[in-house]
Structure 1
Amino acid sequence: MTESSEPIIALEQADIYQGDRPVLNDVNFEIKKGEFVYLIGRTGSGKSSLLKTLYADLWLHTGSAKVAGYELHHIKRADIPFLRRKIGIVFQDFQLLSDRSVEDNLAFVLRATGWDQQAKISKRIAEVLMQVGLGTAHKRMPHQLSGGEQQRVVIARAMLNEPKILIADEPTGNLDPEVGDQIINVFRTINNAGTAILMATHNHDFIKRFPARVLKCENGSVTIS
């Protein structure tokens, strides 16, 4: 199998734990390059634990999982930052640094991941802000942005290192429906440009209006539809 055709995410007989407690058993699925996949399930069904396992915030105890070329069942702690550069993570709570501008929030991430040329940093920041529809927001502080605008900055931050996949945990959960629609459209634009998306959501209206493959966490299992 060539690298380009290899799934970005592949789990086989994976058991997902939250601490010492098993929450999902015998998980098997793949996500291919450029795919859009929803992750649904009731609160407490294991969605967040599954996502945290994919970006190595929780350890994979049994089974195998390969994400962006990294085997999670063998991954070393030193390799986790490199895994996370190949995936973008979007949280429900924005986690922006409140003491610095949008531009400085993004520059902080780039410098932390090895970028050192200011011209390239500025160019990449301009590109991702344009991508999420915030091309003029460079100098604004997080408190000067609406919730929807802050979430766009978070998506821009996740896109900085051109990830193969965006993993989003309830990205519209704290937003009103109209703003949520704007955010789902940002994700669809990014997906149409070639980045895979795995999005946990409680919003079944999205799935009706923008159909895609669905993974469902229920009764300790993950089913695919």
Structure 2
Amino acid sequence: MIGGEAIIKITDACIFQGLTAVLQDVTFTIDKDEFVFLIGRTGSGKSSLLKTMYADLPFKMGQGEIVGYQLEKLKKKDVPYLRRKLGIVFQDFQLFPDRTVAENLFFVMKATGWKDKAKMKNRMMEVLLKVGLGDAATKMPHQLSGGEQQRVVIARALINQPSILLADEPTGNLDPDVADGIFKLFQEINNEGTAILMATHNHDLLRKYPYRVLKCERGQLLDSKTSDITINTSF
């Protein structure tokens, strides 16, 4: 496992999208319980960085450790085990439209090794209550608002009690009031001990909440711990 309190440690990495290196010399750590924003213009490498961390893109150069797994040595058979320790939140939800909320959550649970139906049902209700959707188990995704669907996605990400949530523009398609509620839910999750890495274009969040910022810019990853990062409308 990673030493100290760091649950992500990336050193001298290059992040690729296909054959193109979109970020070079990437070095950063994220500690247990930390909340970090990831910003940058469209195409600057934010999503590619997140996808590399959950092994949707290959880790080709450098050293990387996340929740105890070395990315440069990760075997295909180990990817599901890595993802059990991560929570992944997508902007476009990626819910099965022809399955109920409960069935969407059960699908993930079965895919990650759950077998006891009673425990599955109990955990499903726990995470739905956590995100404020205790009465949504039997509903279809199309019966929910965009904000409610995003809460289901967050519930799905919490199923296996992850050490960190990787969130790619989780409020990007939501109106400001709904986005604020979703962000406050992320804060609650973070306050209970789960680290958060959130890619966002939401300038209001960045100005309102003084969390650490990682910025993808001109092929580099800047860190507000070591660099002056201006929050403006250039991303």
TM range (shorter): over 0.9
Partner of 1:161: 160
Q: Is the 8 A contact 2:2 2:67 kept in 1?
A: no
- Does 1:57 pair with 2:56? yes
- Check the 8 A contact 1:40/1:47 in 2, yes or no: yes
Aligned equivalents of 1:97, 1:44: Cα separation in 2: 27
Match of 1:28 in 2: 27
- Report the Cα offset of residue 22 of structure 1: 0.6
Deviations 1:47-94 (A, max 9, x none): 011101000111111100001100001100110111001001000001
Counterpart-to-counterpart distance in 2, 1:105 and 1:60 = 29
**Number of residues of Structure 1 aligned to a counterpart in Structure 2:** 224
Written as runs of structure 1 = structure 2, the 5 A alignment for 1:77-88 is 77-88=76-87
Contact persistence 2:11–2:62 (CA under 8 A)? yes
Return the letter of the residue paired with 1:220: G
Q: When the two structures are superposed, what TM-score results if normalisation uses the length of structure 1?
A: 0.97
Give the Å deviation of 1:5. 2.9
1:75-119 Cα offsets, whole Å, 9 max, x none, are: 001101110010010000011111111111101111111111111
Matching residue of 1:186: 185
Q: How does 1:117-196 map to 2 (within 5 A)?
A: 117-196=116-195
**Residue of structure 1 in register with 2:39 after alignment:** 40
Q: Please report the RMSD computed on the Cα atoms of aligned residues, expressed in angstroms.
A: 1.1
> After superposition, where does 1:201-212 map in structure 2 within 5 Å?
201-212=200-211
Percentage identity across paired residues of the two chains: 62
Structure 1 regions of 5+ residues with no counterpart?
none
1:7·1:32 contact (CA, 8 Å) conserved in 2? Answer: yes
The separation in 1 between residues aligned to 2:75 and 2:117, in whole angstroms, is 31
| 1:4 CA displacement | 7.5
Q: CA deviation at 1:6?
A: 3.9
2: distance between equivalents of 1:189 and 1:4?
Answer: 26
Kept after mapping to 1: 8 A contact 2:14/2:61: yes
SS in 2 for 1:73: helix
Q: Report if aligned partners of 2:216, 2:222 keep a CA contact under 8 Å in 1.
A: yes
Q: Which of 212-221 and 98-107 deviates more? A: 98-107
Superposed CA offset, 1:116-172 (max 9, x none): 111100110111111111111111110100000000000000000000000000011
For residues 154-203 of structure 1, give each alpha carbon's deviation from its aligned partner in whole angstroms, at most 9, with x where no partner exists: 00000000000000000111111111101101100100110000000000
The list of structure 1 runs, each at least 4 consecutive aligned residues, that deviate by more than 6 angstroms after superposition, is none
Answer yes or no: is the 8 Å Cα contact 1:5–1:33 preserved in 2: no
Amino acid at match of 1:160: I
Indicate if the aligned counterparts of 2:23 and 2:220 stay in contact, CA closer than 8 A: yes
SS at match of 1:94: coil
**Length-normalised TM-score, structure 2:** 0.93
Q: In 1, distance between residues paired with 2:205 and 2:20?
A: 31
- The match for 2:199 is 200
